[in-house]
Structures are given as C-alpha cells and as structure tokens.
Structure 1
Amino acid sequence: MHISKTYLIGLFLITSLTLFSCKSNKTALGTKHLGTPLDSVMAKETKFTYLKSKFKLHFHDAKNDVKAKVRLRLKKDSLIWVSISKTGFEGLRGMVTRDSIYILDRMKKVYRVSDFKTLSKNFNFEVNFDILQSMVLGNMPFRGASKSKIVQKDKYWLIKQKRKMIDIENYVNNENRKLEQVLLTDIITNNSLRMVYEDYAAYNDKVFPGKSTITVKHRPKNSNQNLITSISLKSLKVEFTDEPVKFPFRVSKKYARE
C-alpha cells in the first residue's frame, strides 16, 4: 500500500513525537549516588488540564525532507489532536485517544483507524498514549519504572530505568530539574527512540520546551539495515488553560476508509 508523505509525517508525529551515542565507559558515568532519593532528582512534571500549541515541523527520513506547520491540542491523559498544514492548506488531521489513532488525509480524501498495538508492531517498538504525551510535554515517560538507578554525570542526574524489555536513560538538569534528553532502547531488537528538549521557556507558571527533536532508529523485520526517522519541532505558540478546548474531528461521508 502506498503511503503518502503527509500520512507518514502525521503517523510519526502523532505516535512518536535511541541508541547510545556515548562510548561504553563506566568511569565516564560519574559517581553513583545510591542514597539519593529518586523523588528529589526526578524531572518536574508540567501539570495542566488543556494545552493549545503551534509548531514549525521538520521531518526527515531516507526518502523525505519536509517542512510544515503543526497545531497541537491536548487534554491531559485522554486526548491528543493534531493538524498539519503546508503552504496554508491542511493536509492531515489526527486524533489520538487512550487506545486508538484516527487520521484524516485531506489530500486523498481517505481516513485511517489504527491502535497502539498495531503501531508498536509496525515500528517493532513499544508505543502508547502515555509515552506520546510525555514526548510532547518533556516529561519522563516512565516515572514508575522499576529498578531505577541514579548517577551524576556532568550537569545531569542520569536516571536509569528498566520497563519490561526496554532500557531507559533520563538526563535531568540538576539545576532546574527539567528533562533534557531521554533514550529508550529495546533490549531484544535494539530499536531505539531518542528525545532531546531544549530552550525551555516559562508560560505563566508552566514550563515548556521551545525545541524538541525526536529520532527513531529501527530495523524492519527481514532487513539487515537500520532506518532512521527524525522530526524537530520549534514552538511558535504555547497556551495552558483550564478552560475546555475544542477537538474538531469529523469524517465526511465523501471520505473512504483505507
């Protein structure tokens, strides 16, 4: 099945908004602080009810290099809405619930419905709503993961975690306790996800990253070559509110399911 560029961008943005680049050297990790309470170094979470935001998007993979504008709305812990446009025209609209993913392709006049289980199978990497929401906000994706280890490395608290078959590394700035980088690696497949957060800015009493970069490295089944897909988001407008936000999503009868 042919997948359009717009759909590819939207699917990646909606569902995945890494492998270590550091050399393996135990001494480079710094001193272990086994007695340091986890709560005292864990990244501060952004707490809110609704989020409205706009971004500049740059999507890149082996075949595509695309720039677009994105509107993103979020109801905490329950709903994410995305609209992607280029040259003033909306090409794609997507909505994500706790268990389902809906995508409207305006160009082809088709819509698609999927779920996180199918998506995780396609990427050969676990993806769920909570991980996606954390990507958007700059929060630690697995705050309750077991076997957390705390290491001091340069200006960071490095919080190492393990969840099922995924190794997690969270780099938390030890001055402001904001998350600046997360690396998730699937132990079995070696597929990985890297999230980098920069230029944090204050919006009233909330803090939000001005720039986010997400990179997925995965090897498709029956392939011996890694594929790398990346997306960068630069914030143009960010608004946190307790007032209800609209999430317009309606499928016209003229649209066919694909």
Structure 2
Amino acid sequence: MKINLLNNILVGFLTVLVSASCNMIKNIEEGKVVKVLHEKKLLDSIKEYELDIQWLRARGNALITINDEAPQELDLNIRSKADSLIWLNISKFKKRMFRGEFKKDSVKMVIEYPEKLFFKGSIDSIESDLNLSIPYALIEDLLMGRSYLKHLEDKFILQVKNNEYHLLSHRKRKTKRIANNKTKKLANYFFQWWIDPFTYKCKRINIIFPSSNSEINITYKNWEKINNQYFPMGIELIISNIELTYNLLIDYKNIKFDLPQKFPFKVIDNNYQSIKFND
C-alpha cells in the first residue's frame, strides 16, 4: 500500500516536472530560464520591447551582391523619420554613387556612377517593374531591427523550437499547398519569425509573396544598447525572385536616435537619363 502510494507520488511529481519543463525555455550558456508565453502575451511583449523612436541617423558599411556577381563594399548613410520618409545615400571611396528617398507611396532615386540615372514614381510601379513586393513599413522596420508584426492583424501560429519562439502566419501544409497551386484560396504572403525569448527581439524574418514568386529573408545580429533601447548593429537582407537574388549586409558604425534630420535631394537636370528597369 505504501509502495503504491510512493509510486503514485513519484509519478505525479515527474509528470509535473516534465509538464513544467515543456513550458519553459532555457538559455544554457547564460543559465537563464523563462516561461513560455501564450500568443497574446508574447505579441504584447514583442511590441513593448521594439525600438520606439521618431528619428534615426545611421552610418555604416554595406556589402551588396547581385546574383553571382562580385560583392561591392559601400559606405552607407541613412536618415529616417518614423512612418514618413527614409533617405539613403550610398558612396564608395567618398564618391557619391546613389541617393534615394522613399515614402509610403512614392520613390525618388538618383544614380551618379557609373551612369547618371534617375527614377521618380510610385511604389506600385517599381514593384511591378522589379516583380518584387516592397512594403514601405517593412523597409522602415528592417532598418530599425523591428519584427513587422504590428502591421499584421491576422492570428499567427506559435511554436517553440530550439529554445526560441517560432511564429508562422500559416500552417506549413497550407503554405505548401498554395505554393504548389493545389488550392484556389490564395494568400498575399507567408510570414515566419524567430523571436528571442529573453529579449523579445526578432532574430530572423522570412516572407514569401506567392503572387510575384518573390521571397525576403532578414537576419538581425549584434544587438547593442543605445539610449536604453536595443538596436541591431548588423543586418542581413536577401531578396529573391525567379531571376534575381539581392544580398545586402549592413554593418552599422554610428547610430543616433531622435535628432531631427534634413533630407537633401539633388535637383535632376538634363544630364540624367530615366532608369528603365525592364530593359
């Protein structure tokens, strides 16, 4: 009788222990343990800890590769006003090569070298020409290390794998069926996120746009604390479609928050030719 009672207690204890361990995430290297959060609490925590600034000024280096071409190392200068405008200047050996101004519905770009070219038009037109989906909010969140989750209203699927949160916009079976054209119900996108369970920072993002056969992969690295907020000093971006693969590695060197910026842009004259993306 006592043996049966002891066995029941032991089994009960082990059951509780196993159940508890399944609802915990461990960081073995740092000896940390946290509880697994449910969907709403996790989403609230991610939004709470995301970068909250109005102005950004950033300088750094960028390594750009297109398909199998040799990578180009460039100097990067970024200025941004939240939810409004992104200004980008690219140079090499102190020689200006590119300047761009991105708004929610329009784009202006000037190329200085090797040819003098310009583009001025809508976001829709450039997406159509390049066969890529490039939401403005995604570009802004990319440059600031955000998750883009706040822009999505649909529910997501939550998993815990390899001691990190794995979020999906659709189940893998449904994603595969839509990607293989085995269902009439289409989706505008498929999202995946990998979230650090201790900082609630986004580590990676994968986005697939079935209609344009394009895909975006984002990886955030080397988080540093700046003005009591964490910022990724390293970002990797891969944009691909059937024909092209763009790979961008950003290594930030200097970051400033909430200093109002000016966004200078050169007036285009007759020396510049219009960019023809489809040529």
Shorter-chain TM range is: 0.7 to 0.9
Unaligned runs of 5+ in 2: 1-21, 24-35, 171-185, 275-279
Identity over aligned pairs, percent: 17
CA–CA separation in structure 2 for the residues paired with 1:34 and 1:177:
11
Given the alignment, which residue of 209, 223, 236 partners 1:186? 209
What one-letter code is carried by the residue in structure 2 that aligns with 1:154? N
Structure 1 runs (4+) deviating above 4 angstroms are none
User: Residue 66 in 1 paired to residue 64 in 2?
Assistant: no
The corresponding residue for 1:205 is 228
Given the alignment, which residue of 53, 59, 62 partners 1:54? 59
Q: Whose relative contact order is higher, 1 or 2, with alpha carbons under 8 Å and at least 6 apart? A: 1
- Alignment check: 8 A CA contact 2:223 2:230 kept: yes
Q: CA deviation at 1:54?
A: 0.6
- Alignment check: 8 A CA contact 2:187 2:210 kept: no
- TM-score of the two chains, using structure 1 as the length reference: 0.78
Equivalent residue runs for 1:30-45 within 5 Å: 35-37=38-40, 38-40=42-44, 42=46, 44-45=49-50
Q: CA deviation at 1:236?
A: 0.7
Equivalent residue runs for 1:168-179 within 5 Å: 168-179=191-202
- Alignment check: 8 A CA contact 2:221 2:235 kept: yes
The corresponding residue for 2:267 is 251
- TM-score of the two chains, using structure 2 as the length reference: 0.72
Equivalent residue runs for 1:117-136 within 5 Å: 117-136=124-143
Q: Which has the higher helix share?
A: 2
- Alignment check: 8 A CA contact 1:34 1:150 kept: no
Aligned residue pairs total 221
What one-letter code is carried by the residue in structure 2 that aligns with 1:117? D
Q: CA deviation at 1:41?
A: 5.0
- Cα RMSD, aligned residues only: 2.3
Report Cα offsets for 1:30-84 as digits up to 9, x if no partner.
Answer: 99x8944242453532111100001111011223421110000000000000110
Q: CA deviation at 1:159?
A: 1.5
Unaligned runs of 5+ in 1: 1-29, 221-226
User: Residue 234 in 1 paired to residue 251 in 2?
Assistant: yes
Larger Rg: 2
